Structure 1
Amino acid sequence: MSDYRVLPGPEHFLPPAAASMGIRLPNPGEAHINGVIASEEKAYEEAAKQFLMAKVPTIFPGPLVLWAWNEKAAKKATAVRHLYNTLKECVQPGQSPMLIPMPDYRPKYPKIDPEIEINPNHPNLTIWHNKIDCCMFIGVHCHQANLSLKIIRGGTSCYTIAMCAQAGHEDAMLSFRDASVEKIMKLADWVRKLKGTVQPRLTSAKSGASN
């Protein structure tokens, strides 16, 4: 087992790919927390706690759930909206949940508008601008998600959660695999279950650059 752990940063300018440090992906029915294989049930609880502790818990839905390219995607999008609404209902005063889309993967130059979108090529800009301290990626193609997760880990202290439709994301602090409507709804159930039991941090996330 690797001694390396996938933890909130800022790690350094070029953080290593977690896979190169010996972090392996979970098997079906498993998840991982900080690079350590864990049960899905434990991961649901931890993800809900991280959302409820965060000052600005944020969901980043990607193209795979933003665009209704099939019935399955549309159902996942509805579940993501339910998760966001549940989060809004369960946070305490002073917490500000957000839902910021990643509509496509094209680099946005000369600037990105960090108040309305996130882009995998410079996700840290959206994290810094909105002072996001916990986020979840869902519906983002794996190669683009891993790029974003590495950049976030390298330059911010944001806690990252990935709900992956495939085998999971080793570069996230917490990752589920085989994402489905049922799993998204179950995470919402855990958020509701833990409502009022988790003390929020209510401090801004640190970053590798001044805000």
Structure 2
Amino acid sequence: MSKLELGPAGILPHSAASLGIFQPEKGTGQELLEGEWTDEDKVYETAAVKLLSRRNPTLFPGPMIVWGWNEEARHKAELSLQLVKEVPGMNIIPMPDYRPIYPKIDPEAVINPCHPNLTVLHNKIQVCVLIGVHCHFANITLKMIRANTNCYTQAWCAYDGHEDALLSIRDLDSAKLIKMTETIKRVRQSMTPWAETPEGKEELEEIAAMKAQNKAEEKESAVLFKGELHEGIPDSE
């Protein structure tokens, strides 16, 4: 079976399926790791190591979690927030909608649905998790990120999983999210997370200072119109 390699893979990377990479069958106790069927426990441990060791770990929650459309979605959202707390310095950038956002998108507030690689590059993200993103859009997003970034993509999918992620977990439910959180806690005891290294601390301080400087105005003091409105076309005499 072909092995999926970390990007950047070029402007038109081959899809994982075209490389002969497919998801393991449900209930086999295996998940997909860099294009290879691997024991589930090893995949969970690898996911934890990557989240703890690579630069600017980020969770990308999609509409199926962000919108809280049923009790299961809300419960997964709560468990996701608990997991993020176990990864020092982990950020959350949602993808609440897939429609283009014009004229400008804030890449620190929301992931760009049409050019997710730009959000990854802007925030210098080297490991990310897609969760609650509809499968058809996750496939596109994963290819674009792999095309021209070195981000280690993880897809935690409630359905069949995603071949184009470097690490894919299928049939994600609350029990699997809890297992992932427990794995992160265990792995963290034997290593120094990126956010707690001198380089990580320095970068996170710089990010915090930048966000404070660019913080939006408070609602009460915001000026709705900062420029003069143009006059209309004068009536003809």
State the TM-score, normalized to the length of structure 2: 0.78
Which residue identity is paired with 2:48?
A
Q: Any conservation in 2 of the 1:51–1:57 contact (CA below 8 Å)?
A: yes
SS of residue in 2 equivalent to 1:31: strand
Residue 97 of structure 2 is matched in structure 1 by 104
Query: What's the secondary structure of 1:87's corresponding residue?
Result: coil
C-alpha deviations, 1:80-131, integer Å up to 9, x for none?
A: 111111213xxxxxxx310111111011233221010113321111101110
2:165 is the alignment partner of 1:163: no
Q: Partner residue of 1:41? A: 41
List runs of 5+ in structure 2 lacking aligned partners: 204-237
User: C-alpha root-mean-square deviation of aligned residues, in Å?
Assistant: 1.5
1:1-211 alignment runs, 5 A limit = 1=1, 3=2, 5-28=3-26, 29-88=29-88, 96-200=89-193
> Identity over the aligned pairs, expressed in percent?
48
**In structure 2, distance between residues paired with 1:74 and 1:199:** 31
Q: CA deviation at 1:199?
A: 4.8
The Cα offsets for residues 139-193 of structure 1, whole Å up to 9 and x where unpaired, read as 0000100101000000100000000011110000000000111111111111100
Give aligned pairs, total: 195
Preserved CA contact (<8 Å) 1:120 1:145:
no
C-alpha displacement at 1:200, in angstroms?
Answer: 4.9
Matches of 2:134 and 2:5, distance apart in 1? 22
Residue type of the partner of 1:99?
I
Equivalent AA in structure 2 for residue 77 of structure 1: A
Amino acid at match of 2:72: K
Alpha-carbon distance in structure 1 between the residues aligned to 2:191 and 2:32: 21
Q: Which letter does structure 2 place at the counterpart of 1:192?
A: K
Cα shift at 1:196: 3.8
**Higher RCO (C-alpha under 8 Å, 6+ residues apart):** 1
Paired with 1:44 and 1:32, the residues of 2 have a C-alpha distance of: 10
**Using the alignment, how far apart are the partners of 1:132 and 1:67 within structure 2?**
24
1:7 deviation in Å? 1.9
- Within 1, Cα distance between the matches of 2:32 and 2:93? 24
Q: Which residue of 2 aligns with 1:208?
A: none
Contact 1:87 1:188 in 2 (8 A): no
- Secondary structure at the aligned position of 1:79 is classed as helix
